[in-house]
Structure 1
Amino acid sequence: MTGTAATANGERAVITGLGVVSPSGLGTERHWAATLAGRVAVGPITRFDPSGYPVRLSGEVPGFVPDDHLPGRLLPQTDRVTQLALTAAEWALTDSGLSPSPEDSLRYGVVLANSAGGFEFGENELRKLWSAGPKKVSAYQSYAWFYAVNTGQISIRHGLRGPCGVLVSGQAGALDAIGQAGRVLRRGADGVLTGGFEAPLCSYAVTAMAVGRDATTAPRLSAGDDPATAYRPFAADATGHVIAEGGAVLVLEREGRARARGARHFYGRIAGYAATMDPPPGSGRPGTLRNAAARALADAGVAPERIDVVFADAAGSPELDRAEAEALTALFGAGGVPVTAPKAMTGRMSAGGAAVDVATCLLAIRDGLIPPTADVRPDPSYGLDLVTGRPRPARIDHALVLARGEGGFNSALVLAACTPANPSEAGPRGPRTSRAPSGTERWS
């Protein structure tokens, strides 16, 4: 699937608001500051006792108290994932300055990604069912567990009555949601809240994630207990990834409408999108991640040499890291483009992970800084120019974000810089840089 670069009447789809809830911090700027500092946000699991489970570490959102952000009436109705999503949506709308009137409500929708739904809510209600009987089970269980509930609750709370939906494709889900949001704009909507969220840090969810994983299509779960080394994508000693909770909401609008209403921020625009599906394991046919990336570039009308940074999927599993590195070197050449994976510092948030990557990428475009992949020492055999240790200054006009979901989902999104509403908000626009295989700077 491709096709999101232009909206109705040929207008471009621009991002005017961001809301991030991540293990790296509550709020967009806190997340960005921690990311630039290379701060590892992975730590021991505290939301349940992990004794007897195959994992010990996770990326948990710090200091989130639902009562501080949401009306009390919503708390007994919602799982943690919905509480996180509602909070981020509020922040994204505030950031954008968008407040649709009741008359315009049908022109604004919500398209999000989620995979596990309200796992923790469902686990608690199952305990009540087996210990105390069906009369003790909450009536809200009928929808609080459902992966579409985040979309519904945000739509209801903010009166967004236009096209709504949910995408379920694991880590690739948020890119697919953004792609669908672009199609909604192309059909005539004025704006869409989009992104993705996950909150799988309960015993039921971890059990489901740890059982029956095929290493050729699903990232391994790291059994390490050292936060600094448990999730090391593209490293020779990579052993898997760390699970995490969180996500991001983006306000996507038609550019003409956003400028007409005086939007405060123009973080970037959606230039291209594509998604593919890998063949079944054992078929002998190659994976299609490179195809997804190439199609997204074609959708954007951008040649590979015009991409200034790649935000990698970075599974942390040797088999999947190798496949991604081969796709990137085939498309860009060895060391042909800077690659980063800030999620190494937070863990993989499944449906929320790519949404946070997109938000982080937009902030990188704004500030002219490529964030690091923590302090990973990359395996040179991968042939990647992996940004590690500290941020790398760079002019970013075009960026590629990749994500893969368990079972063979591949998604790619091209983001582009756009003229800010306020020129003083523009980040550094110096010469574009990339890393040549020799290690010398190459200017273009």
Structure 2
Amino acid sequence: MSRTTVVTGLGVTAPNGLGTDEYWKATVAGQSGLGEVTRFDASGYPSRIAGEVSDYNAEEHIPSRLMPQTDHMTRLALTAADWALADAGIDTSEMPEYGIGVVTSASGGAVEFGQRELENLWSKGKEYVSAYQSFAWFYAVNTGQISIRHKLRGPSGVLLTEQAGGIDSIGQARRHIRKGFPAVISGGVDAAICPWGWVPQIASGLMSTVDDPARAYLPFSSDASGYVPGEGGAILLLEDAEAARDRGATHVYGEIAGYAATLDPAPGSGRPSGLRRAIENALADAGCTSADIDVVFADAAGVPEHDRAEAEALAAVFGPNAVPVTAPKTMTGRLLAGGAALDAATALLALRDGVVPPTVHVTAPAPGLGIDLVTEAREADLRAALVVARGHGGFNAALVVRRA
């Protein structure tokens, strides 16, 4: 039996807005959350710009008993999950005991918590290491803490495909709903703005070293010089459409219509990237053609050769300049495991309100890219959107969301 999966709740924690309404208002207005790193002293590092969730006070959102055992990342995820459930108007205690699952994405775990405890071990000794270190750092901790907090015993899991993970988690959640489960909490939230999370990203050679927040992350631009990391993401409440209708869901943001994922071949193999295939497979899964897509939310690596590869894949599928392309993550930075989930939430909000948010700080795409890059908010009749994401290591994912 084919079941329709819809999104009935959104929870957003982002550098340019805390909560879905604040985030969406700032995003449409083109307000950036990028700035100098404040979570640690980055003065000795070549990259010093990030998207931080600066107005978040954990004590206002997280029970005191959970504070000692959670990382900043997990607190943001718990908060976003609370908001998504409240937005959906769903009472988990009234759902079947094993009816709701949790599937989130991760890039490496709660590195800030782990760094602090390792520093205690090195400087003070093992007696000063928190017992919570045994699980607080774990890459599956967001899934675990969300399921425990809300007493959710349905099918759960975690996807580790870096920036592509937010889409992959949504795709996995849809599989569970198609198997008969009424609802799944999905998406991703990440936070790795600490030395332990910073150094591996610098080592990739893909981070921008520009100190001006307005010039550091310029995907698809002639001045592109790498990406800026950020923290935060989005949690979505996915439901079986019939189950949502039966319980009296007050609103539906849209349908998860199509999903696909591919893996790039090994470097030097001479074989093409799998990005185009992921896009085409997602369109086929949604039962639509390229002509049915009204906007693309791009991966937007910010690295010239990666941007060109994405632009070529989009031109091959849609034709040159044939569909509006936007990258609102220029206002948040790339959020690792939270990035694609936030893009999916943003795409759903765009469909709801009929507006394509802008790619800020970029005045025009580099010559020859062949994409209609949206640099100012654009009103449009949006019926379906494509969200594209690529994770470090060759992961590609594509998601089609359709207006309800």
TM class, shorter-chain normalised?
over 0.9
Question: C-alpha distance in 1, partners of 2:315/2:40?
Answer: 41
Letter in 2 for 1:256: E
Does 2:174 align with 1:188? no
1:411 is displaced (CA, Å) by 0.2
Instruction: Give the counterpart letter for 1:239 in structure 2.
Output: S
Q: Which amino acid aligns with 2:146?
A: I
CA–CA distance in structure 1, aligned partners of residues 102 and 91 of structure 2: 14
Structure 2: which amino acid aligns with 1:299?
A: D
Asked whether the 8 Å contact 2:106–2:189 carries over to 1, the reply is yes
RMSD: 0.9
Moved over 4 A (4+): none
Match of 2:374 among 383, 387, 412: 387
Instruction: Map Cα deviations across residues 264-296 of structure 1 (whole Å, 9 max, x no partner).
Output: 110000100000000011111111100000000
Q: Runs of 5+ in structure 1 lacking a partner?
A: 1-8, 419-444
Question: CA offsets, 1:378-424, max 9 Å, x none?
Answer: 11310100000x21111111110000000100000000011xxxxxx
How far apart are residue 116 of structure 1 and its match? 2.2
> Amino acid of the residue matched to residue 59 of structure 2?
D
Q: Is the 8 A contact 2:215 2:361 kept in 1?
A: no
> Is the 2:104–2:187 contact (alpha carbons within 8 Å) kept by the matching residues of 1?
yes
- 1:375 and 2:367 matched: no
Q: Tell me the amino acid that sits aligned with residue 370 of structure 1.
A: V
Question: CA–CA distance in 2 between the matches of 1:264 and 1:232?
Answer: 39
Q: Which amino acid aligns with 1:104?
A: P
CA contact (8 A) 1:86 1:150 kept: yes
User: Which residue number in structure 1 is paired with residue 216 of structure 2?
Assistant: 230
Deviation at 1:67, TM superposition (A): 0.2
Task: In structure 2, give the amino acid aligned to 1:332.
Answer: F
Corresponding residue of 2:198: 206
Identity of aligned residues (%): 58
For residue 16 of structure 2, what is the amino acid of its counterpart? S
What is the 5 A alignment of 1:343-362? 343-362=329-348
Q: CA 1:366/1:275 → structure 2, altered by over 3 Å: closer, same or farther?
A: same
Tell me what 2:401 maps to: 415
Q: How many Å separate the matches in 1 of 2:246 and 2:94?
A: 19
Post-superposition CA distance 1:317-337 (Å, at most 9, x none): 001000000000000000010
Aligned match of 2:74 in 74, 77, 82?
82
Work out whether 1:64 is the aligned partner of 2:46: no
Q: Secondary structure at the match of 1:194?
A: strand
Contact 1:102 1:159 in 2 (8 A): no
For the residue of structure 2 that corresponds to 1:35, the secondary structure is helix
Q: The residue matched to 1:381 in structure 2 has which SS? A: coil
Letter in 2 for 1:56: R
Counterpart residue identity of residue 119, structure 1: V
Query: Structure 2, unaligned stretches of length 5 or more?
Result: none
- Correspondence 1:36-47 to 2 at 5 A: 36-47=28-39
**Normalising by the residue count of structure 2, what TM-score does the alignment of the two structures yield?**
0.99
Q: What count of residue pairs does the alignment treat as equivalent?
A: 403
Q: What is the aligned counterpart of 1:118 among 106, 110, 114?
A: 110
- For 1:38 and 1:103, the matched residues in 2 are separated by 39
| 2:327 paired with 1:341 | yes
The alpha-carbon deviation at position 102 of structure 1 amounts to: 6.0
